[in-house]
Chain A
Amino acid sequence: MVNITKRFPGVLANDHIFFELKKGEVHALLGENGAGKTTLMNILYGLYEPDEGEIYVGDKMAQIKSPEDALELGIGMVHQHFMLILPFTVAENIALGLARSLKDVSKEVANLSERYGLKIDPQARISQLSMGERQRVEIIKALYRGGNVLILDEPTSVLTPQETKELFKVLRSMANEGRSVILITHKLREVMEVSDRVTVLRRGRVVATKETVHVNEKELAKMMVGREVRFELARHKTKSDSKILEVEKISALGDDGLAALKDVSFCIFEGEILGVAGISGNGQRELAEVIMGLRKVMAGRILINSKDMTNRSPREVINEGVGYIPENIMMALIPDLSVAENAIFGKQFIAPFITTSFLLIGKNLFLNYEQIDKYAKELVSVYDIKTTSIEVPVSYLSGGNMKRLILARELSRKPKLLIAAYPTSGLDISATEYVRQKLVEQREKGTAILLTSEDLDEILSLSDRIMIMHAGDIMGIIPTEKANVEDIGLMMSGIRRA
Chain B
Amino acid sequence: MELGGLDLSFILNKPLLKELISVILAVLSSVMVGGVIFSVSGADPLLAYSALITGALIGKHQIAETIVKTTPLLFASLGVALAFKSGLWNVGAEGQIVIGSLVAAWLGFSIMGLPTIIHILLTMIFSFLGGAMWALIPGILKAKANINEVLTTLMMNYIAYWISVYVIYWPLDDPLSYNPQTPHVLPSAMLPTLIPGTRAHAGILLAIVGAILLIIMKKSIFGYEIKVVGANPAAAKSAGINVPKIILTTMVISGGLAALGGMTEVIGRDLCLKLDATLGYGYLAVAIALVGNLNPIGVIFSSLFFGALVNGADVAYRVTRIPAVVAQAVAGLTMLFVLMKGPMLRFILKLLTWLKIGSRSGLS
Q: Which residues of A contact B (CB under 8 A)?
A: 292, 294, 313-315, 317-319, 324, 326, 330-337, 341, 344-346, 348-349, 354, 357, 359, 364-367, 369, 393
Contacts and interface: CB of A to CB of B under 8 A. Distances in A.
Given A314-B239, A315-B241, A349-B221, 18 more contacts: A313-B242, A315-B240, A317-B240, A326-B238, A330-B232, A331-B232, A332-B238, A334-B227, A334-B231, A337-B227, A337-B231, A341-B227, A346-B239, A348-B225, A348-B239, A364-B221, A366-B220, A369-B219
Contacts of A348: 221, 224-225, 239
B210 to A, nearest CB: 14
B224 A341 contact: yes
A313 B235 contact: no
A346 B222 CA distance: 13
Of the candidates A292, A337, A344, A366, the one having the most CB atoms from chain B within 10 angstroms of its own CB is A366
Chain B interface size, under 10 / 10 to 19 / 20 to 34 / 35 or more: 20 to 34
A359 B222 CA distance: 14
Interface in B187-240: 216, 219-225, 227-228, 231-232, 234-235, 237-240
Contacts, number: 70
B343 interface: no
A66 B221 CA distance: 51
Contact of B231 (A318, A332, A336, A357): A336
B87 to A, nearest CB: 11
B5 interface: no
A332 B225 CA distance: 14
Contacts of A393: 15
Contacts of B238: 292, 294, 314, 324, 326, 331-332, 346
Contact of B240 (A330, A346, A367, A369): A346
12 contacts: A292-B238, A313-B240, A314-B238, A326-B238, A332-B238, A337-B227, A337-B231, A341-B224, A348-B221, A359-B216, A367-B221, A367-B223
A314 B240 CA distance: 5
Interface string B130-153: 000000000000000000000000
A332 B237 contact: no
Contacts of A337: 227-228, 231
Interface residues of A, dominant DSSP: loop
A367 B227 contact: no
Contact of A318 (B216, B224, B234, B240): B240
A93 to B, nearest CB: 31
Contact of A365 (B221, B235, B240): B221
Contacts of A344: 224
A341 B225 CA distance: 11
Contacts of A345: 228, 235, 239
A345 B239 CA distance: 6
Nearest to A329: B235
Contact of A335 (B219, B225, B231, B240): B231
Contacts of B228: 334, 337, 345
Contacts of A315: 240-242
A314 B237 contact: yes
Contacts of A336: 231
Contacts of A357: 216, 220
Contacts of B219: 366-367, 369
A294 B236 CA distance: 11
B204 to A, nearest CB: 22
Interface string B149-167: 0000000000000000000
Contacts of B239: 314, 345-346, 348
Nearest to A360: B220
A461 B238 CA distance: 29
Nearest to A350: B240
A330 B216 CA distance: 28
B235 A330 contact: yes
A335 B234 CA distance: 14
Of the candidates A333, A341, A364, A367, the one having the most CB atoms from chain B within 10 angstroms of its own CB is A367
B220 A331 contact: no
Contacts of A366: 219-221
Given A313-B240, A315-B242, A318-B240, A334 B235 contact: yes
Contacts of B227: 334, 337, 341
B14 to A, nearest CB: 10
Nearest to A317: B240
Contacts of B216: 357, 359
Contacts of B224: 341, 344, 348, 367
B85 to A, nearest CB: 11
Contacts of A330: 232, 235
A366 B221 CA distance: 5
Contacts of A335: 231
A324 B221 CA distance: 20
A168 B156 CA distance: 63
A321 to B, nearest CB: 13
A337 B229 CA distance: 12
B358 to A, nearest CB: 21
